[in-house]
Amino acid sequence: MMRQYELVERVQRYKPDVNEALLNKAYVYAMQKHGHQRRASGDPYFSHPLEVAAILTEMHMDEATIAVALLHDTIEDTSATRQEIDELFGPDLGSLVEGLTKLKKLDLVSKKAEQAENLRKLLLAISEDVRVLLVKLADRLHNMRTLDHMPESKRLRIAEETMDIYAPLAGRMGMQGMREELEELAFRYINPEAYRTVTSRLAELSERNRDVIVEIENTLSELFKKYELKASVKGRQKKPWSVFRKMESKALSFEQLSDIFGFRVIVDTVEDCYRALGAIHTTWSMVPGRFKDYISTPKQNDYRSIHTTIVGPSRQRIELQIRTREMNKVAEYGVAVHALYKDTPGKVNAADHAISKETNAYAWLRRTIEQLAEGDNPEDFLENTKLELFQDQVFCFTPKGMLIALPRGATPIDFAYAVHTDVGDTCVGAKVNGRIMPLMTELKNGDEVEIIRSKAQVPPAAWESVVVTGKARAAIRRATKNAIRKQYSGLGARILERAFDRAGKVFSKDGLKPVLHRLARKDVEDVLTAVGRGELASSDVMKAVFPDFKDERVTQAAKPREEGWSKIRNAAGMLFQIPGRASRKDRQVARENGAVPIRGVRGDLPVRFAPEGAVPGDRIIGIMQPGSGITIYPIQSPSLTAFDDQPERWIDVRWDIDEATKERFPARISVVALNAPGSLAEIAQVIAENDANIHTLSMIRTAPDFTEMLIDLEVWDLKHLNRLISQLKENASVSDAHRVNG
């Protein structure tokens, strides 16, 4: 276990003016508080915060962050209190320790809602102070290094949450070294057989190519000397998880991988980066499509480097990364490079803090935090954040030259939402490099994208399955929910207008505002939506607005439907008849009765048809289904008997067919046909010749001579359906055909 003076010496190597008193006080306090506590390995518990502190010294963190690492488990696991920490170390350090304490129970593979809420807490804590993230990641890294000592039942869970959240979060914050070690440790437990196989193959390959690697290093070094460039060259091997992931994603064998070995070229200045690139490309051929300049366009985690692949001295492919020493430091430690607080303990250097807040990694974090305020449900937030964590990038431009960074696989829809949510919501088309392209087009590096907009556009729900960015997916879901809410609100307004009119009252939205508290709704739209969904009865709204109102339906006994369904009682206890494609006079009667117009499932109301269907020409009735709008039944349907004692759910409806917009409607028929080869084909041919469409077909009874089929059709109207049934009956293979109602 590291001694007190050894910890101080570690920090002194990179920070000579270290506050030794703070480190000594934190060391002694934490050691005393943890006392005789033991870890699962049997080691003193204090060894854990000490190792976490040691990891942070490798990242050159300041003494305040090291002190927080020493103290991070004291409030949770010992008798220490926040007040005591504040008194001894100051409120700033106390706040950090308490923040880490709240995250101690973070369990990211629990139920989705809990997982999302814990992730919210983590990201919010990070947004307050980057040191929370650094200590949390160091804490996780040491726990992963000692995972062998945990019960076997917990290892897989901890490894999965590490691979799922912590490793990609470290990468998203630019801490590539931390990410690679977390991934490798998690890989060992998630897929031990694959880990052993890949590790063994890599060891064999490394031994076999040792001389080749040294030769390439020397060749590159000699080249840079020739061009009078001061550069260091170091060969490196891909990590096991990176190799395995590439083999899986691209369906490659180990032998097919050409970039297991790479070389990193470190120079002094940005100018030297491009001089080194020129020396390399003028000496060896570049592999087309393998050049990326992340210096001119950094990644969102602040990573900067030039990547290129060449056909090297021995005709083998060589992958190269060229960067400055400062870039290399950022690539390894990410936001930690900007998190050195050089003031007195507990004080944050405002200038350094401002720098860290302006990094690309922090910009992403701010955007993610903004989503918290946009009302996404926990599962959506979790999914969207994971999408953002795992994606690599492409860089595209607006027509004015603005750079937009997007995940690989992004579409113009993602691009539109990345520019602004309003641009995405009104997107109807896109030009990519001056040509009109489908909105599903996968964007490539350097594409110039122009979004074509229309104020009349509402984002289709189907877009959600196409986009790859969390922001686009969340915005589309919100727009879809708002559109559905608008439908229910419109339906609710019509229902209330009808109910108020029948009671001899005048309905107005303003009249609902004074009684919102009685209806337990926060605004008028909530009331209308609840009525439209069937969650709030129109009579309850009437009573809230007019306390003396008495609903006639409550006192009137439910009357049985008359023989033949010639008449039926509506929601207010009145008698009405609903026309199909009816005369002007009949339509006027329907309107006077307050019937809600129905155009079909593609209309502007949340309606659906009963399983047996309904077609224009049928007399129809609507039944309010709480939470799902109105279900339309033909009035001859036996299914309606189930609602005889629920008159408040009956809604007057009428057909309102737009002759210019042709739309088929559902109907169900039963056909009894000869059980002989070709009979089904003949039936299908009759249906096709009559311009009807088979939606589903099932055999409900098969006998030696006859087969009974249940066919769900789509037809234009009642005349069309009757004509089709008549022609089916005339077919020689058909014994009987009739419509099914319920």
Catalytic residues: 76-77
SS3 for 449?
strand
Q: Report d(CA 271, CA 303) in Å as an integer.
A: 17
Of 681, 660, 674, 667, whose CA–CA distance to 718 is shortest? 667
Under 8 Å between Cβ of 392 and 407: yes
Q: Which residues pair with 698 in a beta bridge?
A: 710
Helix 4-14 with 20-34: angle, nearest 10 deg: 150
SS3 for 39?
coil
Under 8 Å between Cβ of 108 and 121: no
For 418, the token pair is 């990345």
Under 8 Å between Cβ of 300 and 393: yes
Q: Report d(CA 728, CA 491) in Å as an integer.
A: 39
User: What CA–CA distances, in Å, run from 64 to 57, 86, 92, 135, 340?
Assistant: 11, 13, 10, 11, 9
Chain centroid to Cα 668, Å, comes to 39
Strands 629-634 and 607-609: parallel
User: What CA–CA distances, in Å, run from 75 to 31, 92, 97, 159?
Assistant: 13, 15, 8, 26
Q: Report d(CA 296, CA 288) in Å as an integer.
A: 19
Q: Report d(CA 340, CA 352) in Å as an integer.
A: 7
**DSSP-derived secondary structure for 534-591:** TSS-HHHHHHHH-TT---HHHHSPPPPPPGGG--EE-TTS-EE---SS--HHHHHHHH
Q: Report d(CA 710, CA 701) in Å as an integer.
A: 9
Of 520, 537, 532, 538, whose CA–CA distance to 485 is shortest? 532
- Helix (H) / strand (E) containing 684: helix 679-689
3-state DSSP of 615-655: CECECEEEEEECCCEEEEEECCCHHHHHHCCCHHHEECEEE
* The amino acid at 629: G
User: What CA–CA distances, in Å, run from 190 to 109, 112, 158?
Assistant: 14, 20, 10
Place of tokens 């008997």: 641
Q: What is the DSSP letter of 111?
A: -
Under 8 Å between Cβ of 389 and 413: no
SS3 for 113?
helix
Chain centroid to Cα 552, Å, comes to 49
Of 566, 535, 540, whose CA–CA distance to 553 is shortest? 540
